[in-house]
Structure 1
């Protein structure tokens, strides 16, 4: 039931009632810090996989083999994410959104910190590689519900008419995490190579403890969302949200996966595969490992603004229309953009990264923030968002660097691999928008899915 009583404190009206502005701000901040930690880890690990982890942990495999093995550990984290999404999605729909957000940030943060303590191949043989895989799985399990929790939480707290704007605000944390990750890598990259591979590579992972402490402090002060409170009040919480989701929402789960292919896949292409491509394309970029990280810094600055802009535009013009624009933009620009990278002009590389990430990727991510939670009924929303996000994260995000590295090796590091990969993934999302229901203004208390 909608609460309409007004107090002296100005309240924000949501589908589940009214929320104090302080609670809305706290929910936004809690989600943002979690996103920052996840994507700080995401970009640090992606950059280190492309440039450092191979010789540190997989030395006996040679340069190409070590790179593929390094990217394989990157992909293992993504393989674990659907399992984390299902497990924590169940908890989020059964026991509340806040509980999950505390558990996931703890798991991700602990795993990231522990990576900074691992022994390398020279210190302990393959033990370090085995532990690295184990910690990546742990990271993946936690990350499997982190973004689903953030989008679900803020979408259930935000005012309906501005849900796109508010739901996209926490994803500024993604850009903050990118800035922190790429900036940290750029700074430590100034050090002597022997120092970097000796001990300095550990610092970015150990430093993540700061974000963990801040996130836990904020999240402990969160209240449960009005939507989940209403479900509990009217005894509408289901005992088996996973079963209910699979019974009623197969179509919308597939829609969610299809929508994410272009956004998540291109994010991985720009942040990991493109950087790896430039690092080994010696005839074009001879040994300069700074071009990619600096490009990510520039792109993240623009993306922090554009993700909110596209989220707000989806409130006005509709989620599907804005999403379709982002996917089509990436389809059209994929071939010329990656060709421009091969010309050896650093400024062009940075423009390609900034435009691709800030317009192509954010053009899909901005409307996606409210759209995925709006697709599902309130009883199994968390599980639905988590499963959609994380299956696509495996297919588009985790496998992109591994498969891409294999094709790059087989084609003599051809830029066409990047272009075709980007185009195909974006085309999948573009086509999916024609099967996606418009969800602007949806009642988040509704038990049924969007149709």
Structure 2
């Protein structure tokens, strides 16, 4: 595996390096925010809108499960996006793939806002919805790896967890933005909201797309990646170029461990965005205040995610993530009590505490996953590990939780056991993975 010995940033003075690193980190954060606005807006819409718009021939519970099934389609497509964009990102560069992924995401999300309802075109609307959701999944599958690696590979050792956490901080920011915008339109009369109001947040994606492309076009390519290419060129091109995915699969332990270690973080994330919202509304809270409570808690969690990334630079990725998992398991039962209280302040507190636990897992995760792979296969390995974790942890979680809840007659015990079990599995594989905060990315063979 080729690695980069020279530091490509050495030719710049310290101030110039720091300025460029800050610009890249900001770009990763804003770009990730835009992409996750699109991706997670779908989560809220699948809970509150799609059953009544695209699955009108089903009873409410069956419609909700069907809508969550379309939500899962995006997660099924994410590993495919990670493999495709990872391959070209490891061969052609991180920056080009970031721009391409954003284009696909922005176009797909805008088109979702234009799909006719079931009343107009019947089941074809649901088919189009699934196809566009798959496009979203492919795009976000390629987006994360490039954004995380750009931040990670522009940073100095000892600050990588902090830098890479900004990419993951884009997810709660995007979730808050999407939920807030959807909440504004949810205040409309029910018939108007379901007729056209829900579409506007998706159509706004085209504006965010333009902003994102401008931001992404102004950053420089990863210096570690450029140094690796230069080293390969100096050594002479091999007779048969290495496939990044072949390098990853030749030693699959890192891929399997990172996938299972990160899965529960995504289960918690999607539990908050879908099941917890619906559960709170079902138990007497009004829809709009619940959406705002989640949006505000998501904004606070941006600071939590970045702070936990910083803590992981000091104490290690594994200890911070394990504390988050243990706290989440311990607090699951009280959180359900607060979500079902009908009191918006307790619901907000539940979202905030739950997302604090999530941040302890999610903040260090970008660095934790990326540091397990070598430079010339890092985009592919990190993207696949991360996206397979999202598929395992989040792709089917809304459907599974809704089904468990329905089959138990509205009891939460089976839901609690499922989430706690996933958390225990992740804790085991975090313990089995080596601590990576002190790796030298330019020379270390993973």
Relative to the length of structure 1, the TM-score reads 0.92
Select the residue among 325, 336, 343 that pairs with 2:323: 325
Q: Give the corresponding residue for 2:353.
A: 355
| CA–CA distance in structure 2, aligned partners of residues 352 and 51 of structure 1 | 20
1:109 aligns with 2:102: no
Distance 1:335 1:4, change over 3 A: closer
Select the residue among 1, 7, 24 that pairs with 1:2: 7
For structure 1, list consecutive stretches of 5 or more residues without a partner in the other structure.
12-18
1:76 aligns with 2:73: yes
Distance 1:3 1:148, change over 3 A: closer
| CA–CA distance in structure 1, aligned partners of residues 258 and 200 of structure 2 | 36
| CA–CA distance in structure 2, aligned partners of residues 448 and 375 of structure 1 | 9
Q: Give the corresponding residue for 1:15.
A: none
Relative to the length of structure 2, the TM-score reads 0.93
1:418 deviation in Å? Answer: 3.3
Q: Give the corresponding residue for 1:262.
A: 264
1:240 deviation in Å? Answer: 0.3
1:159 aligns with 2:156: yes
1:209 deviation in Å? Answer: 1.4
Is the 1:108–1:138 contact (alpha carbons within 8 Å) kept by the matching residues of 2? yes
1:379 match: secondary structure: helix
Deviations, residues 218-238 of structure 1 (Å, cap 9, x unaligned): 111222101111111011795
1:4 deviation in Å? Answer: 7.9
| CA–CA distance in structure 2, aligned partners of residues 327 and 178 of structure 1 | 21
| CA–CA distance in structure 2, aligned partners of residues 135 and 94 of structure 1 | 27
1:370 deviation in Å? Answer: 1.2
1:439 match: secondary structure: coil
Higher mean displacement: 27-36 or 232-241: 232-241
Q: Give the corresponding residue for 1:309.
A: 307
Is the 1:335–1:423 contact (alpha carbons within 8 Å) kept by the matching residues of 2? no
1:3 deviation in Å? Answer: 5.6
Is the 1:338–1:416 contact (alpha carbons within 8 Å) kept by the matching residues of 2? no
| CA–CA distance in structure 1, aligned partners of residues 154 and 196 of structure 2 | 44
Distance 1:6 1:247, change over 3 A: closer
The root-mean-square deviation of aligned C-alpha atoms, in Å, is: 1.7
TM alignment of 1:359-378, pairs within 5 A: 359-378=356-375
2:374 match: secondary structure: coil
1:291 deviation in Å? Answer: 3.9
1:404 deviation in Å? Answer: 1.2
Q: Give the corresponding residue for 2:247.
A: 244
Number of residues paired by the alignment? 435
1:31 aligns with 2:16: no
Q: Give the corresponding residue for 1:14.
A: none
- Would you identify which runs of 4 or more consecutive aligned residues in structure 1 move more than 4 Å? 3-7
Deviations, residues 372-393 of structure 1 (Å, cap 9, x unaligned): 1111111211111111111121
Deviations, residues 192-212 of structure 1 (Å, cap 9, x unaligned): 111111111110000011221
Is the 1:24–1:158 contact (alpha carbons within 8 Å) kept by the matching residues of 2? yes
1:115 deviation in Å? Answer: 0.4
Q: Give the corresponding residue for 1:144.
A: 141
| CA–CA distance in structure 2, aligned partners of residues 122 and 2 of structure 1 | 60
Higher mean displacement: 108-117 or 294-303: 294-303
Deviations, residues 345-365 of structure 1 (Å, cap 9, x unaligned): 3322211111011x2100011
Higher mean displacement: 421-430 or 311-320: 421-430
1:60 aligns with 2:65: no
| CA–CA distance in structure 1, aligned partners of residues 46 and 86 of structure 2 | 29
Deviations, residues 53-96 of structure 1 (Å, cap 9, x unaligned): 11101111221221111111000111111111111111111111
| CA–CA distance in structure 2, aligned partners of residues 4 and 138 of structure 1 | 36
Q: Give the corresponding residue for 2:440.
A: 443
Is the 1:41–1:181 contact (alpha carbons within 8 Å) kept by the matching residues of 2? yes
Higher mean displacement: 158-167 or 132-141: 158-167
Higher mean displacement: 37-46 or 339-348: 339-348
Q: Give the corresponding residue for 2:91.
A: 94
Distance 1:164 1:386, change over 3 A: same
Q: Give the corresponding residue for 2:332.
A: 334
Q: Give the corresponding residue for 1:119.
A: 116
